[in-house]
């Protein structure tokens, strides 16, 4: 299989070699021309002794010269002495008669020679213009051919081929996701031994769709399948099929599948398939003809597969709801494998993989870090480890400590601290009571997420943050959602209870609370007046469905929904107000601790909130100053 997989790569190598020979041939031609000009002069060089013409005549008069050769065109003279010494001189073009008579009297052999010119140099002035013209036409022809090749090759697939000779990625390199790996193991078994399935008449799924949130490792899992099966792996993204020319996408799909068939058993992996696999005919301005043509060609190619061909198509997306139904039907993408966000054990395994190439202190407890990072994907955890390493470098530490991981987690979840923001005393006090209200309600109510940290230091876009670490949940009860709303209103009600007015710091709390209450009424059936009905729409606005269909309930129902949303919000606001008034003393202590330390932990908050019987204090001690605008972010999800 390895030798077959190298076939598509041999053509580019041969093309590169041909281009290299053409490039070097020009330089070889230049060297030959220079050699033809310079070599004659180098070959005609001699080792004779240069003398003046008068000295040469004196030597001839003394009888020391045996022979003389005179060049007619230049007057150059080459003389050979009796003792074998060679002299060279430059005389007149026509030798005087007296000098000639002297040579005859001394019996010196005199030869007059006419040198033949270099034929190449004679024709060079004539050939040079023709050579330049021919070279210009050759260059224009090559450029036009290159452009034509580029146009003709635009329909070729841009898929990258990974063969068995390249570094392999196996299931051992994918931390966690045991269930996902078990579900796709039979694909690996089919590619390794397809005869086992053919013997009993079993048919392997033609297509496997990996569905999951961004960053969960769908591409890595597909590559691990190729590594485990030991077959070529063709990787391409959905956007690689789309170009400005009509028909290019369909042509690239055909070329991709032809390449896969030449490789024999192989895996075709298309990342972000939703970019070309969206529902046909959808959109505000109608369908996208080029994308739909590409999708139609892909559907046709998948239908052309034989069950025993040994080619499996895999794709990844985080938006399966917008894919065309024809793409998901049996016979194309038969199976959907959900790649969810990692659980606690999987997060711990992922963290251990990412710290292998890092210098981590022995005191670091990755299990504790995994418990405090619910909802994080594999990419988020990789970024968390890198942020911890950067924090260790900034702190001049030689290894990553637990404090670095804590700082990195806060940096990722709630943002970077803004050192440049200087709050007034009034703003600090209002922010302290605001965050204290969130923390107090979260501590008092049984179903609320536990408080991890409270700070009044400007962080991210907020002037203060109450950070909660939710437990790992897969379903939310109505009690939890109601306590969540009460926590959101805790900051606003704390301002109103202590200062008598509210500020803009609760803007984000109101947005989150309204959205949550709306879902409780229209999607989750948590309203007795609306009843067990779900009015939430799954239509995608960017597909044009939501704008065309509109809402599917009457104006009277809409009025009831609005009233129920308002009732839920006001009820939880009243609960938060009552708890804050009843435990006013605890609120003052939490706010005072925040003003003193600026940042306190959830354990500190729990110590400052006594039992209800001990928390009664005179609410008349509250001050009622005017409020100043502030911002707040309650990071509880």
Distance CA(206)–CA(332), nearest Å, equals 6
Distance CA(39)–CA(42), nearest Å, equals 5
> CA angle, 384 as apex, 378 and 385 as ends, to 5°?
95
Q: Provide the 10 A C-beta neighbour count for residue 374.
A: 18
Distance CA(341)–CA(370), nearest Å, equals 13
Distance CA(187)–CA(309), nearest Å, equals 13
Give the list of residues 6+ apart from residue 124 with CB closer than 8 angstroms, or none.
Answer: 37
Sign of CA dihedral 483, 484, 486, 490: positive
DSSP structure string for 283-347: STT---HHHHHHHHHHHHHHHT--TTS-EEEEEEES-GGGB-HHHHSTTTS-EEEE-----HHHH
Strand (E) or helix (H) holding 607: helix 602-608
Catalytic residue IDs: 435
Distance CA(569)–CA(613), nearest Å, equals 28
Task: Give the residue from 501, 514, 530, 538 showing the smallest Cα distance to 627.
Answer: 501
CA distances, 420 to each of 425, 429, 430 (Å) = 16, 19, 19
Distance CA(386)–CA(539), nearest Å, equals 38
Strand (E) or helix (H) holding 38: helix 7-43
Give the list of residues 6+ apart from residue 403 with CB closer than 8 angstroms, or none.
Answer: none
Task: Give the residue from 580, 565, 558, 583 showing the smallest Cα distance to 491.
Answer: 580
Distance CA(276)–CA(296), nearest Å, equals 10
Rounded to the nearest angstrom, the gap between the alpha carbon of residue 49 and the centroid of all alpha carbons in its chain is: 75
Distance CA(236)–CA(238), nearest Å, equals 7
Cβ atoms of 240 and 285 closer than 8 Å? no
Alpha helices in 156-274 (DSSP H): 178-183, 185-192, 194-199, 218-229, 248-263
């Amino acid at each position: 299989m390895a030798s077959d997989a190298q076939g598509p790569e041999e053509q580019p190598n041969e093309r590169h070699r041909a281009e290299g020979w053409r490039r070097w041939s020009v330089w070889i031609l230049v060297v030959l021309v220079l050699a033809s000009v310079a070599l004659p002069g180098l070959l005609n060089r001699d080792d004779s002794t240069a003398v003046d013409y008068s000295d040469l005549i004196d030597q001839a008069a003394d009888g020391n010269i045996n022979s003389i050769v005179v060049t007619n065109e230049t007057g150059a003279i080459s003389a050979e002495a009796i003792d074998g010494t060679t002299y060279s001189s430059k005389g007149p073009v026509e030798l005087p008669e007296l000098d000639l008579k002297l040579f005859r009297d001394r019996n010196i052999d005199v030869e007059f020679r006419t040198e033949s010119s270099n034929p190449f140099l004679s024709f060079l002035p004539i050939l040079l213009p023709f050579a330049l013209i021919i070279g210009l036409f050759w260059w224009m022809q090559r450029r036009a051919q290159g452009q034509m090749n580029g146009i003709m090759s635009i329909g070729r697939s841009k898929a990258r081929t990974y063969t068995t000779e390249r570094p392999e990625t196996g299931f051992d390199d994918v931390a966690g996701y045991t269930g996902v790996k078990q579900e796709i193991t039979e694909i690996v078994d089919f590619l390794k031994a397809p005869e086992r399935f053919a013997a009993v008449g079993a048919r392997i799924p033609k297509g496997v769709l990996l569905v999951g949130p961004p960053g969960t490792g769908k591409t890595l899992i597909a590559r691990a399948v190729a590594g485990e099966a030991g077959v070529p792996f063709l990787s391409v993204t959905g956007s690689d099929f789309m170009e400005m020319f009509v028909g290019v996408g369909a042509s690239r799909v055909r070329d991709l599948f032809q390449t896969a068939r030449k490789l024999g058993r192989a895996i075709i992996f298309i990342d972000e398939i939703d970019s070309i696999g969206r529902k046909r005919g959808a959109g505000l301005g109608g369908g996208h003809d080029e994308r739909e043509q590409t999708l139609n060609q892909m559907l046709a190619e998948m239908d052309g597969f034989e069950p025993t061909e040994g080619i499996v198509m895999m794709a990844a997306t985080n938006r399966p709801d917008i894919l065309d139904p024809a793409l998901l039907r049996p016979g194309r993408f038969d199976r959907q494998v959900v790649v969810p966000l990692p659980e606690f054990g999987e997060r711990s395994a992922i963290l251990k993989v990412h710290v292998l190439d890092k210098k981590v202190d022995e005191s670091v407890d990755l299990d504790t870090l995994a418990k405090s990072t619910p909802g994080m994907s594999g990419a988020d955890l990789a970024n968390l480890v890198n942020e911890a390493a950067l924090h260790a470098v900034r702190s001049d530490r030689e290894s990553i400590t637990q404090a670095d991981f804590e700082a990195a987690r806060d940096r990722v979840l709630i943002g970077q601290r803004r050192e440049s923001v200087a709050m007034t005393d009034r703003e600090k006090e209002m922010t302290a009571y605001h965050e204290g209200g969130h923390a107090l309600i979260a501590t008092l109510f049984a179903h609320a997420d536990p408080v991890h940290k409270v700070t009044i230091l400007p962080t991210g876009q907020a002037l203060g943050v109450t950070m909660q670490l939710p437990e790992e949940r897969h379903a939310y009860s109505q009690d939890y959602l109601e306590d969540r709303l009460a926590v959101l209103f805790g900051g606003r009600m704390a301002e109103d209870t202590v200062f008598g007015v509210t500020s803009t710091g609760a803007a984000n709390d109101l947005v989150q609370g309204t959205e949550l209450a709306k879902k409780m009424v229209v999607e989750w059936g948590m309203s007795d007046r609306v009843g067990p009905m779900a009015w939430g729409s799954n239509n995608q606005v960017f597909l044009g469905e939501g704008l065309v269909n509109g809402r599917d309930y009457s104006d009277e129902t809409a009025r009831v929904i609005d009233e129920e949303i308002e009732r839920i919000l006001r009820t939880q606001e009243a609960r938060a107000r009552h708890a804050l008034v009843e435990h006013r003393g605890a609120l003052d202590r939490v706010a005072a601790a925040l003003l003193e330390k600026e940042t306190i932990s959830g354990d500190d908050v729990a110590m400052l909130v006594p039992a209800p019987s001990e928390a009664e204090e005179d609410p008349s001690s509250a001050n009622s100053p005017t409020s100043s605008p502030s911002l707040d972010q309650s990071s509880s999800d």
